């Protein structure tokens, strides 16, 4: 069996922990050293890693960490019962709501955490 975990780089570990626990309902599992917190969202562990802006994620590349809003083809989807309620919590805790859509299948809200990491909130 393979278990999936997700790592999210953030510049402010305490603010990130508060956001992911209070806005998205993750549960704190443990602190892991001074620069990492492990959270759980159902059967997925989320590792919040404190990393400074401008540092290199790869020794061999020229790319540096940037916490402005960014896009990546890989992102998290948080499945919930009430998209509007969750979006309200997200924006109250410093996250961003960037639109959405709905149909017979349910609703989706496009969001980002306070550090520019995008994710979706979905009601099916």
Instruction: List domains and CATH numbers for the chain.
Output: 5-53+69-123 (3.10.180.10)
Convert the pLDDT of each residue in 71-118 to its tens digit.
888 999 999 999 999 999 999 999 999 999 999 999 999 999 999 999
Question: Model pTM greater than 0.85?
Answer: yes
Q: What's the token pair of residue 93?
A: 């805790």
State residue 2's pLDDT score: 83
State residue 88's pLDDT score: 98
Convert the pLDDT of each residue in 22-77 to its tens digit.
999 999 999 999 999 999 998 899 999 999 999 998 889 888 999 999 888 899 99
Confidence of residue 4 (pLDDT cuts 50, 70, 90): confident
Going through 1-124 in order, the beta strands assigned E by DSSP cover 5-10, 27-31, 36-41, 44-50, 76-79, 96-103, 106-112, 118-123
């Amino acid at each position: 069996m393979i278990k999936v975990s997700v790592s999210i780089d953030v510049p402010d570990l305490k603010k990130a922990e508060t956001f992911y626990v209070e806005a998205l309902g993750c549960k704190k599992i443990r602190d892991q050293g001074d620069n990492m917190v492990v959270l759980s969202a159902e059967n997925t562990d989320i590792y919040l890693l404190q990393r400074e802006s401008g540092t290199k994620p790869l020794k061999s590349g020229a790319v540096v960490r940037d916490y402005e809003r960014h896009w990546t083809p890989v992102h998290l989807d948080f499945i919930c019962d009430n998209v509007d309620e969750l979006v309200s919590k997200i924006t109250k805790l410093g996250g961003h709501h960037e639109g959405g859509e709905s149909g017979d299948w349910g609703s989706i809200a496009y969001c980002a955490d306070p550090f520019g990491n995008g994710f979706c909130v979905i009601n099916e």
